[in-house]
Chain A
Amino acid sequence: GESVGLHLPTLSVQEGDNSIINCAYSNSASDYFIWYKQESGKGPQFIIDIRSNMDKRQGQRVTVLLNKTVKHLSLQIAATQPGDSAVYFCAESPRGNQFYFGTGTSLTVIP
């Protein structure tokens, strides 16, 4: 299978600070990347995606950065809130609607 990994398994941030979650991927043929948020006992929810022809994409309070040279993906969350506490997964899609997921980073927001 594909190797998709996260640099930090846990991350704690103060409420109001910015959060950065990192992800490394191994398949240079991957052309589509997604970030998901998973709350305890629930299914993953789509946050934001990016295609390989872009290096940055912004959503509401979130930004995804893609560095194809070093096969690195990051998720930035601005003004982190307690409701952002969850596990965050990156996923890569190298071909044909298959998705490969990392192990996840647990984000804890300290009030």
Chain B
Amino acid sequence: DGGITQSPKYLFRKEGQNVTLSCEQNLNHDAMYWYRQDPGQGLRLIYYSQIVNDFQKGDIAEGYSVSREKKESFPLTVTSAQKNPTAFYLCASSITGTTNTEAFFGQGTRLTVV
């Protein structure tokens, strides 16, 4: 089945530690995105990538880093510089081109800092 997979579903991290969230897609999509979702708020864009080896900061990139070495994979690292990392993280992908199409989402990773 084609889709977008995030792992793990739940993640616990001690303060001061970096942690990497995985996102893999087999939809052959060029564009991939990372969003953060907090209770009562919408999705806020952290980083996005339109093509392999290229990515841009979103609205809340501080304290996060990404890489895009393969088309299928777009891991997100939450660094110790992120002041409030506890949140629900969503990865998405979409086709790129002259006509916009919908973004497909993974099932999310809930990160809790303890």
Where the two chains meet, the residues of A that have a C-beta atom closer than 8 Å to any C-beta of B are 1, 4, 31-32, 34, 36, 41-46, 49, 89, 91, 93, 96-104
Contacts and interface: CB of A to CB of B under 8 A. Distances in A.
Contact of B31 (A36, A89, A91, A97): A97
Given A43-B107, A44-B90, A98 B40 contact: no
Interface string B40-53: 11111100101000
A31 B106 CA distance: 25
Q: Which of A97, A98, A100, A104 has the most CB of B within 10 A?
A: A97
12 contacts: A1-B44, A4-B42, A41-B108, A43-B6, A43-B90, A43-B106, A43-B107, A43-B108, A45-B105, A89-B42, A97-B31, A101-B35
Give the 6 A-B CB pairs with smallest separation, nearest first.
Answer: A43-B105, A32-B100, A101-B42, A101-B43, A103-B42, A93-B100
Nearest to B95: A97
Contact of B107 (A4, A32, A42, A91): A42
Contact of B59 (A1, A36, A97, A102): A1
Contacts of A42: 107-108
A109 B96 CA distance: 36
B64 interface: no
A102 B35 CA distance: 13
A103 B33 contact: no
A41 B106 CA distance: 11
A105 to B, nearest CB: 11
Given A31-B100, A43-B90, A93-B100, A103 B107 contact: no
B94 to A, nearest CB: 6
Contacts of A4: 42
Contacts of B40: 103
Given A4-B42, A103-B41, A97 B90 contact: no
Nearest to B35: A101
Interface string B58-74: 01000000000000000
Contacts of A44: 43, 90, 105
A86 B100 CA distance: 25
